[in-house]
């Protein structure tokens, strides 16, 4: 099932504190951005990659795409103030393609192609689908560090990307959010405001987002394990 992917990559990586976009940090010598793009570059079902970037990164990103022989980036768009703005700019570059579009954080380099394919199929059938994993911790609700209640865990999911939608569904959701000045932390939260279903595809705990410096240790470990096991 063919799909296109929007990769929001226009953040500043403030919580990583590297003094530059965290996507330029390397894992086993290769930039995080390239690790993520390579998954889609190598997947025959992916028919186009739309990359949302910060203007300050443009020259360096273009150089990396050339250096690593990436051919599938069909559009480079300027990102916006919020991640949601970057995704919206990417969505406008989808053009006349009216199949399934994925949104995937460029900061999640460990997504598996098998998960992507399950996700795309579900989105094609149902309109929208997201990758998530069951919550492992006990979650409490609290105010001012005083526990109010323990939240029933069996119904809780920790949501990741990719998130996949029919293009028309995601466009409708973004337009409504823009009109109503709603900002969500993921695409699903915009689609949930419409009368559309979003289904969950169970993914892997190692599809982490590189956010804070400790995540780099986990990322190195995940990558080494994959290299050792030849996946
Ligand atoms: N992103 C984006 N445009 C923004 C903000 C974020 O395209 N205005 C992208 C990031 O580049 C990243 C993904 O969205 O690939 C997830 O965002 P996050 O992990 O928050 O990254 P940053 O915003 O870069 O990090 P921070 O919030 O710590 O500054
Ligand atoms: Mg951010």
Checking if the pLDDT of 231 tops 80, the result is no
The alpha carbon of 167 and the centre of ligand 1 are apart by a number of angstroms equal to 22
| Ligand positioned closest to the Cα atom of 18 | 1
Is the CB of 106 inside a 6 Å radius of any atom of ligand 1? yes
C-alpha span between 155 and 129 (Å, rounded)? 17
The pLDDT of residue 205 is 98
C-alpha span between 6 and 49 (Å, rounded)? 6
What pLDDT, in 10s, does the model give residues 141-189?
999 999 999 999 999 999 999 999 999 999 999 999 999 999 999 999 9
What pLDDT, in 10s, does the model give residues 187-225?
999 999 999 999 999 999 999 999 999 999 999 999 999
Checking if the pLDDT of 25 tops 90, the result is yes
Q: Are 104 and 5 in contact (CB under 8 A)?
A: yes
Checking if the pLDDT of 119 tops 90, the result is yes
Mean pLDDT (whole number) for 40-60: 98
Is the CB of 211 inside a 6 Å radius of any atom of ligand 1? yes
Nearest to 119 by CA among 159, 175, 153: 159
Q: CATH homologous superfamily of domain 3-229?
A: Spore Coat Polysaccharide Biosynthesis Protein SpsA; Chain A (3.90.550.10)
Residue 77 burial (CB count, 10 A):
20
Work out the percent of the chain whose per-residue pLDDT is above 90.
97
The alpha carbon of 13 and the centre of ligand 1 are apart by a number of angstroms equal to 6
Nearest to 5 by CA among 68, 75, 60: 75
Q: Which residues surround ligand 2, an ion (CB under 5 A)?
A: 11
Is the CB of 65 inside a 6 Å radius of any atom of ligand 1? no
The pLDDT of residue 150 is 97
For the chain, domain boundaries: 3-229
Is the CB of 109 inside a 6 Å radius of any atom of ligand 1? no
- How does the average pLDDT of the chain come out, rounded? 97
CA-nearest residue for atom 25, ligand 1, is 13
The pLDDT of residue 196 is 92
The pLDDT of residue 230 is 80
Longest dimension (CA), the chain: 54
Cα-to-chain-centroid distance, residue 175 = 20
Where are any strands of DSSP class E within the chain? 3-8, 26-27, 30-31, 46-53, 73-78, 100-103, 128-134, 139-143, 146-151, 157-166, 199-202
Q: Are 140 and 211 in contact (CB under 8 A)?
A: no
Pocket of ligand 1, candidates 107, 162, 163: which has the most ligand atoms within 8 Å of its Cβ, to mutate?
107
Query: Which pTM does this prediction carry?
Result: 0.97
Mean pLDDT (whole number) for 113-126: 97
Question: What is the distance between the terminal CA atoms of the chain, rounded to a whole angstrom?
Answer: 23
The pLDDT of residue 10 is 98
CA-nearest residue for atom 23, ligand 1, is 11
Under 8 Å CB-to-CB from 22, ≥6 apart: which residues?
11, 13, 16, 32, 107, 210
The pLDDT of residue 169 is 96
Residue 77's SS3 state is: strand
């Amino acid at each position: 099932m063919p799909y296109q992917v929007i990769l929001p990559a226009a953040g500043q990586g403030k919580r990583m504190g590297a003094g530059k976009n965290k996507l330029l940090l390397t894992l086993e010598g290769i930039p995080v951005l390239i690790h993520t793009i390579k998954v889609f570059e190598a997947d025959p079902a992916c028919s186009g990659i739309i990359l949302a970037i910060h203007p300050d990164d443009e020259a360096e990103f273009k150089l990396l795409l050339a250096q690593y022989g990436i051919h599938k980036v069909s559009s480079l768009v300027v990102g916006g103030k919020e991640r949601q703005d970057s995704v919206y700019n990417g969505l406008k570059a989808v053009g006349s393609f009216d199949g399934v579009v994925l949104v995937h954080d460029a900061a999640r380099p460990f997504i598996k192609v098998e998960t992507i394919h399950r996700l795309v199929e579900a989105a094609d059938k149902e309109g929208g689908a997201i990758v998530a994993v069951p919550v492992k911790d006990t979650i409490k609700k609290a105010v001012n560090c005083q526990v109010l209640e323990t939240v029933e865990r069996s119904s809780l999911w920790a949501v990741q990307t990719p998130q996949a939608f029919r293009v028309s569904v995601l466009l409708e959701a973004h337009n409504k959010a823009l009109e109503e000045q709603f900002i969500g932390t993921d695409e699903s939260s915009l689609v949930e405001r419409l009368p559309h279903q979003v289904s969950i595809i169970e993914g892997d705990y190692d599809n982490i987002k590189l956010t804070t410096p400790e995540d780099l240790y986990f990322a190195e470990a995940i990558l080494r394990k994959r290299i050792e096991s030849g996946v």
